[in-house]
Amino acid sequence: MVHSRTARRRWTAAIGLTGVAVLALSACAQSERGGDSGSGKTGGTMVFGAAGEPKNFDPIFNDDGESFRPIRQMYDTLITYKRGTADLAPGLAEKWEPSADGKSWTFTLRKNVKFHDGTPFNAAAVCFNFDRWFNMKGAAAQSQMIYYADVFSGFAKNEGDAAGEPLYKSCEAKDEGTAVLNLNAYKGAFPAAFGLTSFSISSPEALKKYDADNVQQSGDSFAYPAYATEHPTGTGAFKLEKFDKANKTITLVRNDDYWGEKAKLDKLIFKIIPDENARKQELKAGTIDGYDYPNPADYNTLKSDGFNVTPRPAFNILYLGINEANTPALKDLRVRQAIAYAVNREQLVKTKLPAGAEVATQFIPKTVAGYADDVQKYPHDVNKAKELLTQAGATGLTLKFYVPTEVSRPYMPNPTEIAAVITDDLKAAGINVEIVSRPWNGGYKDDVQKLGKHDLHLLGWTGDYNDAGNFVGTFFGRAKAEFGFDDKALFDALSAADAVVDETKHADAYKQVNRDIMSKYLPAVPVSHSPPAIVVSSKISGLVPSPLTDERFDTVSKG
Amino acid sequence: MLRFIVRRLLQAIPTLLILSMLVFIWLRLLPGGPSGALLGDKATPEKIAALNKVLGLDQPLIIQYFKFLGRILSGDFGSSLISGEPVMAEIGRALPATIELSIAALLFAVVLGIPLGYLAASYRGRFLDNVTVIGTLVGVAVPVFFLGILLKQVFAQELALFPPSGRQDVTIDPTHVTNFAVLDGVLTQEWDASADALWHLVLPAIALSSIPLAVIVRITRASVLDVLNEDFVRTANAKGLQATIVRRRHVLRNAMLPVSTTIGLQTGLLLGGAVLTERVFVWGGLGSLLAQGIERRDYPRLQALLLLAAVVYVLVNLLVDISYAIIDPRVRTS
């Protein structure tokens, strides 16, 4: 009945296209709307507005949020995260245990788990996945496995990749429910990195059937096989029904054989709407039930319109980078400290960053193990800044401040405005600033990260998993054009912290490194942690925002 | 005649070669390059360098260009960096969307524009005429994207009469045959899908039709006024012919010649407007492909779209020249 009424309404409205009676007719049709019945706590369809299309659905070939969102609903990882946090929780593995030297990891696997194709999940399937990743052939495939290459440092045969000695040694299926992963060295990223969406476990049968490894180089790019584009087969709470590329929708349906609590929704549709304003309009028009990354400027209007805007716990960092290579004065710690004292970060966070943003005292968020409460702090103090500059003989300093344009990142919604505030603060302390604006993709990243043309710059990072090394190690673990220093002591301290196996000692080592970074090195000024938000209509409940943007929609219900 | 066509076709080859070279070099000179775009946000200079080697982007530009030329001559335009799908498949799917939108806009402009222009001319200097003239001025002056945003704001968001964006409702699960959404619904007898597609077409088609509509109204009005002043109309009226017959047989038919030329010209311009309209209405056509391609530096996609535009341009010019040659034989020998 609803169906035929909907059809009639559409026809009525459609006729309007050809005549001036459009508005009158559709106004009549409009009065017939609203007959859709509520769908209750279970069942129903949720439509979520996604900002971009996924590259493909094979977890190992992806590293971006838009691909990860649907993948997370269809797959599970060995270890996952407690809802709403970055803390580890059992996934496909109920338990995990490192050996004393951290070179092998034993996973006790969950029983009675089936892949979407009905084949059983077991230790052999886990090892099949690890072996597959390690032995991936072809330069094309390997260069698309960003996280694997990073975490496992390379492949059986490193083609066209600068990676060194591979970390992976072997995987043994001791019995159905026990898989042992052997590594050539300990790595601090584990166990947290086992939760990376890229390392989701696929069905070995489906991987073989749909030719999953057959990635072809096509000109300057790569073309993916059917497994990645049409037949992703995991163990997740939802299964892929269809990726309608013409209509830009990804339709997932509930997996009734799911090992955990079954999803509440019958269907979950991701509608790809690249324009943020269009996503907002669709939500207001009721054609979608929620979307990601609302503009901070819209938070209040959205809330007053009855939508739930939920900021995720911040898991990122914005920093004011300092390049010590071009201007000799910047090699002096006192000058870098003067810059830190000069910037009024409290004010900046209040005026230019979204609600919930916090001033950063170090380069990792509070939730990451290794966060130290007692680091040296740099509260806003212009006089102190001036004094330090005088002591260092660096008065009248002029710095080139590189600022990205045409970009908005969760950690910096508006770089130009943030830069303007910092510039004023620095000028007040007697530092002359010459702003150099470069488009994010049109030269900024090259100038800063590759060529080091700048003195100061704005950049940030969103964490991949809960490990301090993923933040500070990435920034300061080796010599980079971005910061222009080459300090072996710091590099060694970071790799030593990374190599500590014991969890508590691992965190302690990073705490000390963080204290040292803030007092002895200060290669940049940590500015803020900003929470990226997610917005849903009042009909939606059960969506738990994740600091890692690792939202699972199986707990969501509509109505 | 055949020799003329062959000669013109041969002349088109160097033009296309130069265009392909310009497109290629321009894209390669942009910072970051395809590797930076492929590797995404967490690309480091080292990773970019390694991937450049894999993709052969570390070779001299001239060698890269000839390899690129070889690939496109064999029909391989590469795969999109965004979707990992061959770009020709993407274009093949998006083209019908753009054509569908353009046809709807053109139909709207013609069906509404000719009667309006005719009425305005018939009531010259009166209220209806004045309103029409002012209306068409506004129609030409208002940018398409602004009108689109306005229409969305009023009719989709405030009044909720039409969907704000997209080609079809997500609850519709259409079968794609030709990728013309309305037509596919008819072909597969999924009437609901067809109606839904039409419903989605209304706002973008109105937005896109604003300029051609205004132009058609003005040309029709001017043309009808011209014809009304012709001697043969005066004669027909003087002979006591019925007014409706005079209007239909003599005035309208003669006035339609410049109007049909204008419609032809507007069709070409519609594609340009479609790019902006598609952006506003998140229409999955060529405009959306282009916009996203630029934003995310999808080099293979941009290369293919720019080359496609160049080929269309060259072909249209060729057709125009050939049609002139048919009409006026002197062109062939000059």
Q: How far apart are the first and last CA of chain A?
A: 20
Q: Based on the domain organization, do A180 and A103 belong to the same domain?
A: yes
Q: Is residue A474 part of a domain?
A: yes
Any idea what the CATH number is for the domain that residue A125 is in? Answer: 3.90.76.10
SS3 A318: strand
- Closest chain B residue to A139, measured at CA: B54
Q: B172-230, pLDDT tens digit by residue?
A: 888 888 889 999 999 999 899 999 999 999 999 999 999 999 999 999 999 999 888 88
Q: Based on the domain organization, do A507 and A544 belong to the same domain?
A: no
Q: Based on the domain organization, do A340 and A466 belong to the same domain?
A: yes
Among A181, A215, A249, which residue terminates a domain?
A215
Does residue A342 contact residue A426 with C-beta atoms inside 8 Å? yes
**Omega cis (within 30) before B60:** no
Q: Scan for tokens 């902006």, then name that residue.
A: B276
- Closest chain A residue to B51, measured at CA: A143
Q: Which residues make beta-bridge pairs with A291? A: A49, A535
Q: Based on the domain organization, do A69 and A158 belong to the same domain?
A: no
Does residue B258 contact residue B223 with C-beta atoms inside 8 Å? yes
Please report the pLDDT score of residue B327 as a whole number: 63
A479 interfaces chain B, CB cutoff of 8 Å: no
Please report the pLDDT score of residue A142 as a whole number: 79
Segment A8-31 shows an average pLDDT of 40
Q: Do B80 and A443 touch (CB under 8 A)?
A: no
Q: Is residue A3 part of a domain?
A: no
What type of residue is A338? Answer: A
Q: Which of A426, A420, A516, A422 is nearest to A472 (CA)?
A: A516
Which residues 197-236 on chain A approach chain B with CB closer than 8 angstroms?
217-224, 228-229
**Is 0.90 topped by the overall pTM?**
no
Please report the pLDDT score of residue A32 as a whole number: 35
Q: Based on the domain organization, do A120 and A66 belong to the same domain?
A: no
Any idea what the CATH number is for the domain that residue A65 is in? Answer: 3.40.190.10
How many independent structural domains does chain A possess?
3
Q: Based on the domain organization, do A339 and A468 belong to the same domain?
A: yes
* Structure letter (DSSP) for residue A409: B
Residue A256 has pLDDT above 70, yes or no: yes
Q: Based on the domain organization, do A70 and A81 belong to the same domain?
A: no
Q: Based on the domain organization, do A299 and A356 belong to the same domain?
A: no
Q: Do B195 and A14 touch (CB under 8 A)?
A: yes
* Chain B closest-CA separation from residue A438 CA (Å): 11
CA distances from B248 to A454, B122, B243, B244 (A): 73, 13, 9, 6
What type of residue is A434? Answer: E
CA distances from B238 to A361, A384, B105, B241, B247 (A): 93, 98, 40, 8, 14
Comparing CB atoms, the residue among A63, A223, A285 nearest residue B164 is A285
Q: Do A245 and B85 touch (CB under 8 A)?
A: yes
Q: Do B82 and A53 touch (CB under 8 A)?
A: yes
* Chain A closest-CA separation from residue B291 CA (Å): 10
Q: Based on the domain organization, do A473 and A541 belong to the same domain?
A: no
* Chain B closest-CA separation from residue A358 CA (Å): 23
* Chain B closest-CA separation from residue A425 CA (Å): 29
A114 interfaces chain B, CB cutoff of 8 Å: no
Q: Per-residue confidence at B328, pLDDT binned at 50, 70, 90?
A: low
Q: B108-167, pLDDT tens digit by residue?
A: 999 999 999 999 998 888 999 999 999 999 888 888 889 999 999 899 888 889 998 888
Please report the pLDDT score of residue A99 as a whole number: 93
* Chain B closest-CA separation from residue A392 CA (Å): 33
* Domains of chain B by residue range: 1-74, 96-331
CB neighbours of A376 closer than 8 A, spacing ≥ 6? A515, A518, A519
Does residue B47 contact residue B40 with C-beta atoms inside 8 Å? no
Q: Based on the domain organization, do A454 and A549 belong to the same domain?
A: no
Q: Which domain range does residue A100 map to?
A: 76-215
Q: Do A7 and B93 touch (CB under 8 A)?
A: no
Which residues does chain A have within 8 Å of residue B300's beta carbon, measured at their own beta carbons? 218-221
Q: Is residue A62 part of a domain?
A: yes
What's the sign of the alpha-carbon dihedral B150, B152, B153, B155?
positive
Q: Do A14 and B50 touch (CB under 8 A)?
A: no
User: Quick one: three-class SS letters along chain B?
Assistant: CHHHHHHHHHHHHHHHHHHHHHHHHHHHHCCCHHHHHHHHHHCCHHHHHHHHHHHCCCCCHHHHHHHHHHHHHCCCCCECCCCCCEHHHHHHHHHHHHHHHHHHHHHHHHHHHHHHHHHHHHCCCCHHHHHHHHHHHHHHHCCHHHHHHHHHHHHHHHCCCCCCCCCCCCCCCCCCCCCCHHHHHHHCCCHHHHHHHHHHHHHHHHHHHHHHHHHHHHHHHHHHHHHHCCHHHHHHHHCCCCHHHHHHHHHHHHHHHHHHHHHHHHHHHHHHHHHHHHHHHCCCCHHHHHHHHHHCCCHHHHHHHHHHHHHHHHHHHHHHHHHHHHHCCHHHHC
A157 interfaces chain B, CB cutoff of 8 Å: no
Q: Read off φ and ψ for residue A23, nearest 5 degrees.
A: -70, -45
Q: Based on the domain organization, do A363 and A394 belong to the same domain?
A: yes
As a dihedral over the C-alpha atoms of residue B149, residue B154, residue B156, residue B160, rounded to 10 degrees, the angle is 170
Q: Based on the domain organization, do A146 and A273 belong to the same domain?
A: no
Question: Count of alpha carbons within 13 Å of B214, Cβ hemisphere only?
Answer: 18
Architecture of the domain whose range is B96-331:
Orthogonal Bundle (1.10)
Residue A110 has pLDDT above 90, yes or no: yes
Q: Could you give the CA distance from residue A67 to residue A198 in angstroms, rounded to a whole number? A: 10
Which residues does chain A have within 8 Å of residue B76's beta carbon, measured at their own beta carbons? 218-219
Residue A90 has pLDDT above 90, yes or no: yes
Does residue A481 contact residue A324 with C-beta atoms inside 8 Å? no
